[in-house]
Amino acid sequence: DAIHTKHDEL
Amino acid sequence: MNLFRLAGDVSHLLAIIILLLKIWRTRSCAGISGKSQILFALVFTTRYLDLLTTFISFYNTTMKVIYIGCSYATVWMIYAKFKATYDSNHDTFRMEFLVIPIAALSLLVNHDFAPLEILWTFSIYLESVAILPQLFMVSKTGEAETITSHYLFALGLYRALYLMNWIWRFFAEGFFDLIAIVAGLVQTILYCDFFYLYITKVLKGKKLSLPA
């Protein structure tokens, strides 16, 4: 989901 | 990972290293806003708390640790090691004017009302304006050393490249994060005036100075 995938960015 | 993001991360890393080396080699932090650096340390700390909960990749972890480490090293150099050279008279921006409204906004507008998520949101909003004390200082003194301009350019370029990355990700993966995009846009817009001066002056070999 969006909340978890965004943390792959710095 | 696409090229825009990789270039953005490299540009961000370059900015941080340029600043560290500038202070270390000249033994001086003249012209550098300690307040912006405190805000960036706060940005990295609140954003990368997921280091403790989630493993994404070796690259991800390494970069996060470097960003956090370098930002604290910079703050330490300004407020301890080279304190005597810190130009506090010109670094008068009030940090609470940014931190308090942004803390309130991150409680109101976020993806999920959970502690880590709110802190992540806070860091995204805060990063978008964390450079203001530095830009304020440059406009107050009316000039910036060339190396400081390179730092600011690399730092501004990083978020502009992230915007390209988000456009890419939207079309390639159907992924978008509105909070990051809006804050990233604000952040990039804040640098536009500086980009103009950098291209018209610094790249032509002149020092960055503002008209009186």
Distance CA B155, CA B153 (A): 5
Percent of chain B whose predicted confidence (pLDDT) is above 90: 91
Give the mean model confidence (pLDDT) for residues B192-197.
Answer: 93
Distance CA B50, CA B48 (A): 5
3-state class (DSSP) for residue B18: helix
ipTM value of the model?
Answer: 0.81
Mean pLDDT over all residues of chain B? 95
What is the separation of C-alpha B83 from the centre of its chain, rounded to a whole number of angstroms? Answer: 21
Q: Is B195 exposed, middle or buried (0-12, 13-18, 19+ CB in 10 A)?
A: middle
C-alpha angle B173/B124/B93, rounded to 5°? 150
Chain B closest-CA separation from residue A8 CA (Å): 6
Q: Are B162 and B8 in contact (CB under 8 A)?
A: yes
Element (H, E) at B179: helix B178-200
CB of A1 less than 8 A from some CB of B: no
In the predicted structure, residue B18 carries a pLDDT above the cut 70 = yes
In the predicted structure, residue B11 carries a pLDDT above the cut 50 = yes
Chain B closest-CA separation from residue A4 CA (Å): 9
**Residues of A whose CB is below 8 A from B50:** 7
Element (H, E) at B208: strand B208-209
Q: Are A4 and B60 in contact (CB under 8 A)?
A: no
In the predicted structure, residue A1 carries a pLDDT above the cut 80 = no
CB of B44 less than 8 A from some CB of A: no
Distance CA B124, CA B116 (A): 12
Residue contact A9–B64, C-beta within 8 A: no
Question: Which residue shows structure tokens 């008279």?
Answer: B89
For B55-109, the pLDDT digits (tens) are 999 999 999 999 999 999 999 999 999 999 999 999 999 999 999 999 999 999 9
In the predicted structure, residue A5 carries a pLDDT above the cut 80 = no
